[in-house]
Amino acid sequence: MSRPSWRERIAAARAQREAARRTRVRRVVSHRDSARCTVDGRSLLNFCGNDYLGLSQHFAVTNALQDAAAREGAGGVASHLVCGHHAAHEALERELADWLGYPRALLFGSGFMANLAVVQALLGDEDVCVQDRLNHASLIDAARLAGCRLRRYPHLDAEGAIRQLRSLPEGAAMLATDGVFSMDGDVAPLRELALVARVQKALLYVDDAHGVGVVGPDGRGSVAAAKLGPDDVPLQLATLGKALGGYGAAVLGEADLIGHLAETARPYVYTTALPPALAAAALAAVRLARAEHWRRARLEELIARFRDGARRHGLDLLDSHTPIQPVLCGDDARALAMAQALEQAGYWVAPIRPPTVPEGRARLRVTLSALHGVGDVDGLVEALAQARDRSDPAHAQPPRPADRAPVLLFL
């Protein structure tokens, strides 16, 4: 018997990534202070995190974490169905369900685990999961691991979704989509997809990891922004690790569906519960997100300011009005060069390359936070334009004329 060498296979894969300039390197953050990070001894203004509302360091959130850890310890102890379900978990699930307008919520250790749980618990070999082509990797992997038939439709194309569902009329069907897409920052056409799901008798599942807390009335996410509810979207995911600044996730839905997940979903049944201290911190963050509307107002103003400045400098933006503002670079080398130039100027913006995004669509994924100020955004725009010009001098151009930008004042 002749088997391939694992060492040779790994070395060949590494060499292939290096040749394509697609190696991934962890950066060590030694300290965070508001929107700034200390990385390799340098203080950088962070424009690549997902702390959209600026809650990860809020004193009420960190105090809740510390107090709960002092009383209840550091760990979740056991799975929820054994002895790990704590009063802090119960309170958080109730608060999330009340905020987002769903009968029940179920906590998970991460959004990835939650997506695996939903698809695995509801679909089998003879069923179909139809998904947007740009869905998060966790949704794609969930369908593959569930063993169901996976069909994908062109990005934001509701007609493509119905064609895929019609092509497989037998078996149970799920229509799954991101609410806000993590790399493009645009929003799924949920009203059209809800109609498709209703006509095709498919369960519509929305992963709103990047929408909850940021978009919609009272920050209730893309489902609420589309004026939909549990009858239209029986299941949706909310993360605790993006706008809420913590860690973990929750699936919200009809009582019977949530009960089924709690009893049968392997990523829920066979894993330790989220530490109660993290649930207490998330509960404090949810209450802040519900009450402090100024955070979303500040984000909206900063998004508008960034987009106006980027357009004046001729930067290549996607059509996003969320805190995710991709600046297209095209090839990988240019994205890397621009990211390095930005870091030299004091800005941390991650270059995103295939396979995370399609070939030829490498970008800088700029993310905005309520922690940023007007001067931070203006400085970033100038640095982006300079980085673009240095990476491609032929593209250099003077800024477009514009009226004096208004000064924004925040409390």
The reply to whether 210 sits in an annotated binding site is yes
Instruction: Give yes or no for a contact between 58 and 285, defined as CB atoms under 8 angstroms apart.
Output: yes
313 belongs to an annotated ligand binding site = no
C-beta separation of 342 from 349 below 8 A:
yes
Report the distance separating Cα 326 and Cα 186, nearest Å. 10
Among the options 56, 242, 369, 391, which is catalytic? 242
Tell whether 80 is in a known binding site.
no
- Check if 227 is active-site: no
In the structure encoding, which two tokens stand for residue 313, read together?
């400098």
**What secondary structure letter does DSSP report for 219?**
G
The verdict on whether residue 85 carries a ligand-binding annotation is: no
Q: Please, are residues 132 and 152 in contact by the beta-carbon 8 Å criterion?
A: yes
DSSP state of 187: B
In DSSP terms, which residues pair with 128 in a beta bridge? Answer: 149, 173
- Tokens 């990385």 locate to 39
Which of 248, 232, 228, 219 shows the shortest CA–CA distance to 175?
232
Catalytic-residue membership of 182:
yes
To the query of whether residue 242 is one of the catalytic residues in this protein, the response is yes
Query: Distance between terminal CA atoms of the chain?
Result: 71
Question: How many Å apart are CA 331 and CA 289, to the nearest integer?
Answer: 38
User: Parallel, antiparallel, or unpaired for β 362-367 and 324-330?
Assistant: antiparallel
The rounded distance, in Å, linking the Cα atoms of 75 and 272 is 9
Residue 363 burial (10 A CB sphere; 0-12, 13-18, 19+): buried
Annotated active-site residue in 85, 86, 89, 210: 210
Residues 6+ apart with CB under 8 A from 99: 218, 220, 286, 290
How far is residue 58 CA from its own chain's centroid?
A: 20
Residue 38 annotated in ligand binding: no
Number of Cβ within a 10 Å radius of residue 99: 22
- Write down the catalytic residue from 182, 320, 369, 391: 182
94 labeled binding residue: no
> What DSSP letter does each residue of 310-330 carry, written as one string?
HHHTT--B-S--SSEEEEEEE
Does 31 appear as a known binding residue? Answer: no
Please indicate if the annotation marks 24 as binding a ligand.
yes
* Residues contributing to the annotated binding site for substrate: 24, 136, 356
* Residues contributing to the annotated binding site for pyridoxal 5'-phosphate: 111-112, 182, 210, 239
* Residues contributing to the annotated binding site: 24, 111-112, 136, 182, 210, 239, 356
Active site residues: 182, 210, 242
